[in-house]
């Protein structure tokens, strides 16, 4: 009775010794572990600093704030600070050419890291404080002048009587 042999790796129809097979496994594993990756970072600065920054409805922190983003495309940015008008923006974050399909896979497999760092800057405007209400300007205004009407005389009384009605 014959026992079943364990499967052996073959190259060009020839059996590969287990040592070479194990060595290839280790080399491929090391290459996989040492591959770099693309690190994407976005920094948002505001003037004045210290404003709360929201990106896609998530609070990222007080400006200047830097964080790693995961995807390219449209992003909604909202910046708020007490005493300043709220700023809403929609920006397109475009991928660099070397990260377009199919180049992005090759860039992810390179044995070193690639850094894509972007910076957006915003300037906030102060809220215009409403002026304290002022009472209307009151000045002594003379009453409107009326025409002086002469008392009726005899001549005007007879003229009025002769007038047709």
Spatial distance between the Cα atoms of 162 and 25, rounded to a whole number of angstroms: 132
Average pLDDT of the segment spanning 134-139:
69
Quote the tokens at residue 136: 């209307």
Structural contact between residues 76 and 86, judged by C-beta atoms closer than 8 angstroms: no
Instruction: Determine the 3-state secondary structure of 77 from DSSP.
Output: strand
Under the banding of pLDDT at 50, 70 and 90, the label for residue 107 is confident
Contacts of 122 (CB under 8 A, 6+ apart): 44, 45, 46, 47, 51, 77, 79, 87, 89
Q: What pLDDT score does 34 carry?
A: 56
Structural contact between residues 55 and 41, judged by C-beta atoms closer than 8 angstroms: no
Structural contact between residues 80 and 63, judged by C-beta atoms closer than 8 angstroms: no
Spatial distance between the Cα atoms of 48 and 37, rounded to a whole number of angstroms: 34
Quote the tokens at residue 139: 């000045």
Structural contact between residues 65 and 53, judged by C-beta atoms closer than 8 angstroms: yes
* Cα angle 55-58-45, degrees, rounded to a multiple of 5: 40
Under the banding of pLDDT at 50, 70 and 90, the label for residue 142 is low
Quote the tokens at residue 88: 């809403």
**CATH fold label, 37-123:** Immunoglobulin-like (2.60.40)
Does 2 score more than 60 pLDDT? Answer: no
Tokens 């404003």, located at residue = 51
The rounded mean pLDDT for the chain is: 78
Does 138 score more than 80 pLDDT? Answer: no
pTM of the model: 0.56
Q: Tell me the helices (H) and strands (E) count for the chain, helix number first.
A: 3, 9
């Amino acid at each position: 009775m014959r026992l079943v042999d364990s499967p052996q790796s073959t190259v060009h129809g020839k059996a590969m010794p287990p040592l070479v097979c194990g060595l290839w496994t280790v080399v491929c594993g090391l290459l996989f572990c040492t591959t770099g990756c693309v690190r994407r970072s976005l920094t948002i600065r505001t003037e004045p600093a210290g404003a709360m920054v929201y990106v896609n409805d998530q609070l990222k922190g007080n400006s200047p704030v830097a964080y790693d983003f995961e995807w390219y495309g449209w992003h909604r940015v909202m910046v708020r600070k007490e005493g300043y008008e709220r700023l809403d923006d929609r920006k397109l974050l475009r991928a660099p050419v070397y990260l377009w399909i199919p180049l992005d896979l090759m860039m992810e497999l390179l044995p070193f890291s690639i850094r894509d760092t972007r910076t957006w800057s915003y300037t906030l405007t102060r809220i215009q404080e409403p002026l304290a209400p002022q009472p209307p300007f009151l000045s002594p205004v003379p009453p409107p002048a009326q025409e002086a009407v002469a008392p009726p005389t005899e001549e005007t009384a007879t003229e009025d009587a002769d007038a047709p009605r």
